[in-house]
Structure formats: C-alpha cells, structure tokens
C-alpha cells in the first residue's frame, strides 16, 4: 500500500505483516498547529474514510509515541505515529445459508437470538461465516447499515456472547433504532454467571474503560489522565438473581455500551464471568460444579447472555420487549449450580 509521503511534514515507513496488515511508522518533523490526528491521517491515507481512521484510533491501532490517543490529538514536532492498517474489505458480501434463530420479525426489523462463536460482520480477513453473511442470504431487504458490510446490523454482541440482537430491514428503521441507542433509551438486560458470591444484592459500577495498555485486543478500567482523555465513561448496574456456593447468577443492566463493558466491569470487581478467559474467568465442567462427572469443559466461553431488550418500534412507536431464551450450555450451567451448589 503506497504511503503519500510529504517530506515537509515527516518521514514514513511501511511494512506488510501477517494477514496483509500494513504497519506504518510516521515521524513528524514539524508541529502542525490545529491539525487533528484523524484529519492528518485521512490526508495521508485517502483510501480510508475518516470514520474508519477514527475507529482505528479508538481501538488502539494508532499510537503516538507508543501510547494510545484520541482522534482530536494535535501533533507536535518529533511525534512518532504508528498505525496498523487492515487489508481492504471485500467488494461483495457473500450470502451464506447459516441458520438464524429468529425470535421476532416484521416488515421493518428482525430480532434474533445469536449463537456463540459467530461474529457480527466481516473484519480482518474473516470474510465469511458471519451474521452479516447469514442475514444477506435470509432477508429480502436490509438497511444499508452504518458502515460497509454491516447491512441491517444496528448493534453488536461479542463473538461468544449469546442473546438478542436487533437488525433493521429499512434505512428509516435503522436510523430510528440507532437514535434510541444513542439517547440511551433502549433498556438491555443481560444474565451472567460470575465467579464468587457477591455480597451486595445490587450495586452500580461506574468505572471508565479504555484500551488495555499492553494487549490491544483487550480493554481495561483506567484512571483518567489530565493531558489526554483516552477512556470512555462506562456504567453498569447489577442485581443478584441467585447465589450458589462459589458462584452468583446476576442480571446486568449496561447504562453505556462500551466494547467488552460487562466483562471488564465484572472482572474489575473481582467477579469475572465464568468461562471468560480473556478477563480472568475459567471454563467449567461437570467435575468443577458437581465434584463428579466429566472434566471436559462444557462452557468454554463467557457465560453471558443478552436476555431482554426493551425499546420502541422504530416505525409505529409502540413499546416492545423481546426476550431470547438461554442456549443449551448456559441453561445447563444454571441447572447444575441449582442442583449441586444451592444454599
């Protein structure tokens, strides 16, 4: 990928790494007063939209002097910018016959109960096997989406988080639903099994989240810095549903929608979600729960399920509450805890 190098501003190096990721290093020779980082990079890499560049900055794929920053950062003389540019997205989204668990559908929207192990849309070379591929095959019409190759997808769940997701069939339904998410009028209720017994029946976790300082694929609660604000407000309310020996079933109500928010917050209060190995949770087997049976994990991913979502229909305005039943492994975990580890 060629880099548009302006020698009056700085030097650049570009190296193609694994999976066709391009790693670029830019050295700023002179200060650029009032020039935002995102605008500068858009000028250097016009093949990428400014929205894409802002997303790369926020997810930590762009650093200044080895530190994550924000799109509005103004560069100084001597700054070293490093960024990782993903390969170009495919020109066409391939329809695939992947089964979908539809829990509600009308002419404007779809609500599905997402399985574990499937990502929402193509990214970083995973161009098939996504919900987007399945939706293009299933639905006659979908909204154009907020980004390319995300037709219909209004909000996302992590790869191994199960539960209810909303999909828009028309552009009007999409922007009206997106507006409800932005105004935080959508009420989401998750259910999770966490390690340890929570002492409080309910509480609010108010702790800002930013990119993990070492592992770029992770997020972490971070103390805000005075110079550069690289964190985002994150608020989660939890309620204890049931207590067991060594575990707790909780209902989680995110007030904000940060990436990995619920997983990070529960780990932060030292009650990681069962199976969430990225944030300190452990996979569970029958032997772990019951003391007998197989030692093979039956739940090797986070025990987190998007259970209910309440919102207003994007066209009629009528209130809707949609519930997604638990999947097999989650139901089995709760049944085993109730039978073997109740008070």
When comparing pLDDT for 33 and 118, which is higher?
118
pLDDT (average), residues 297-323: 96
Tokens 């639903």 — which residue?
Answer: 177
Among 20, 106, 115, 158, which one carries the catalytic annotation?
158
- Cα dihedral 148/70/219/146 (nearest 10): -20
158 is catalytic: yes
Tell me the HSE value of 195 on the side-chain side, using a 13 A CA sphere: 20
Domain 187-340 carries which CATH code?
Answer: 3.30.2350.10
pLDDT of residue 146: 60
Q: What is the greatest pairwise CA distance in the chain? A: 71
pLDDT of residue 173: 93
CATH class of 102-182: alpha beta
Comma-separated ranges of CATH 3.10.290.10 domains in the chain: 10-85
Mean pLDDT value across the chain: 86
Secondary structure of the chain in HEC code, one letter for each residue: CCCCCCCCCEEEEEEECHHHCEEEEEEECCCCCCCEHHHHHHHHCCCCCHHHHHHHHHCCCEEECCEECCCCCECCCCCEEEEEECCCCCCCCCCCCCCCCEEEECCCEEEEEECCCCCCCCECCECCCCHHHHHHHHCCCCCCCCCCCCCCECCCCCCCCEEEEEEECCHHHHHHHHHHHHCCCCEEEEEEEEECCCCCCEEEEECCEEECCCCCCCEEECCCCCCCCCCECCEEEEEEEEEECCEEEEEEEECCCCCCHHHHHHHHCCCCECCCHHHCCCCECHHHHHCCCCCCCCECCCCEEEEEEEEECCCCCCEEEEECCCCHHHHHHHHHHHHHCCC
Secondary structure of 282-318 in HEC code, one letter for each residue: CCECHHHHHCCCCCCCCECCCCEEEEEEEEECCCCCC
- Lowest-confidence range among 5-14, 31-40, 232-241, 242-251? 5-14
pLDDT of residue 124: 47
pLDDT (average), residues 98-112: 96
Report CA torsion sign: 209, 210, 215, 218: positive
| pLDDT tens digits, 202-234 | 999 999 998 887 776 788 898 665 444 567 889
Comma-separated ranges of CATH 3.30.2350.10 domains in the chain: 102-182, 187-340
* Spatial separation of the C-alpha atoms in residues 197 and 120, rounded to whole Å: 33
Residue 257: is its pLDDT beyond 60?
Answer: yes
Task: List the one residue out of 165, 167, 135, 195 whose CA is nearest residue 307.
Answer: 165
Beta bridge pairs of residue 12: 26
pLDDT (average), residues 301-313: 97
Confidence (pTM): 0.74
Q: In the structure, what pLDDT confidence band is assigned to residue 1 with cuts at 50, 70 and 90?
A: very low
pLDDT of residue 11: 55
- What are the φ and ψ backbone dihedral angles of 29, each rounded to 5 degrees? -85, -35
Topology annotation, domain 10-85: 3.10.290
Both tokens assigned to 28: 């700023």
Residue 272: is its pLDDT beyond 90?
Answer: yes
Residue 267: is its pLDDT beyond 90?
Answer: yes
pLDDT (average), residues 118-141: 81
Percent of the chain past pLDDT 90, that is, above it, reads 56
Tell me the HSE value of 141 on the side-chain side, using a 13 A CA sphere: 11
Both tokens assigned to 182: 């932005």
């Amino acid at each position: 990928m060629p880099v548009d190098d302006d020698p009056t501003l700085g030097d650049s190096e570009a190296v193609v790494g694994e999976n066709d990721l391009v790693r670029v290093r830019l050295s700023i020779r002179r200060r650029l007063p009032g020039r935002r980082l995102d605008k500068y990079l858009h000028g250097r890499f016009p093949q990428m939209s400014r929205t894409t560049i802002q997303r790369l900055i926020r997810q930590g794929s762009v650093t200044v002097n080895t530190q994550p920053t924000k799109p509005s950062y103004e560069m100084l003389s001597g700054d070293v910018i490093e960024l990782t540019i993903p390969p170009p997205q495919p020109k066409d989204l391939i329809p695939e016959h992947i089964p979908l668990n539809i829990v509600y559908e009308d002419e404007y929207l779809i609500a599905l109960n997402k399985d574990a192990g499937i990502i929402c849309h193509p990214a970083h070379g995973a161009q098939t096997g996504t919900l987007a591929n399945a939706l293009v095959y299933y639905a006659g019409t979908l909204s154009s989406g907020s980004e390319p190759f995300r037709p219909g997808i209004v909000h996302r769940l992590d790869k191994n988080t199960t539960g209810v997701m909303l999909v828009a069939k028309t552009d009007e339904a999409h922007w009206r639903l997106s507006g409800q998410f932005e105004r935080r009028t959508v009420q989401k209720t998750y259910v999770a099994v966490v390690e340890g017994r929570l002492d409080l029946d309910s509480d609010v976790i108010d702790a800002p989240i930013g990119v993990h300082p070492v592992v770029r694929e992770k997020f972490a609660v971070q103390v805000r810095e005075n110079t550069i604000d690289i964190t985002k407000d994150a608020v989660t309310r939890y309620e204890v549903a049931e207590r067991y020996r060594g575990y707790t079933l909780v209902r989680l109500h995110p007030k904000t929608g940060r990436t990995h928010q619920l997983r990070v917050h529960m780990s932060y209060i030292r009650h990681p979600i069962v199976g969430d190995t990225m944030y300190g949770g452990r996979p569970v087997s029958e032997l772990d729960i019951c003391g007998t049976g197989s030692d093979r994990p039956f739940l090797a991913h986070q025990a987190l399920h998007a259970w209910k979502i309440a919102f207003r229909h994007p066209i009629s305005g009528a209130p809707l509450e949609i519930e997604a039943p638990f999947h097999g492994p989650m139901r089995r975990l709760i049944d085993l805890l109730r039978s073997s580890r109740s008070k």
